[in-house]
Amino acid sequence: MTASERSLQLVALAAEAAAEKLADDIIAYDVSEQLVITDVFLLCSASNDRQVRAIVDEIEERLRIEAHAKPVRREGEREGRWVLLDYLDIVVHVQHEEDRTFYALERLWKDCPAISLPDSVTRVRAQRARGMAGE
């Protein structure tokens, strides 16, 4: 089994929303073969707690408006270090970069197929990398 069309639609919208709020290292994995609870994990990180919250808010708003989707569960918002948004079809992890490095979720799911993200997401990542190289 592979991720459903609905899952792919949600993950694309969530990734674009995260990119707009300058999330780092946006990655999506098709975990449908490994888990029965969801199809896709979307991982991204931010450099501070305020940015984590901004990314979460943008993802929630975008999915609510454009896909009529609301999370069935939201965890970690109070601390602002690692917020989990569970949309059933996808689970979004927005982590403070220190927590992202420490927990290294990519290592857990590295055997799962990566999902291609929209060009707008990869373009933002490339632009930011070029900007940092020039500093």
pLDDT digits (tens, 9 = 90+) for 107-132: 989 899 999 999 989 876 666 666 65
Backbone angles phi and psi of 91, in degrees to 5: -125, 125
pTM (predicted TM-score): 0.89
Radius of gyration for the chain, computed over Cα atoms and rounded to the nearest angstrom? 14
Angle between helices 119-133 and 5-20 (to 10 degrees): 30
Q: Torsion angle of alpha carbons 65, 80, 127, 64, nearest 10°? A: -10
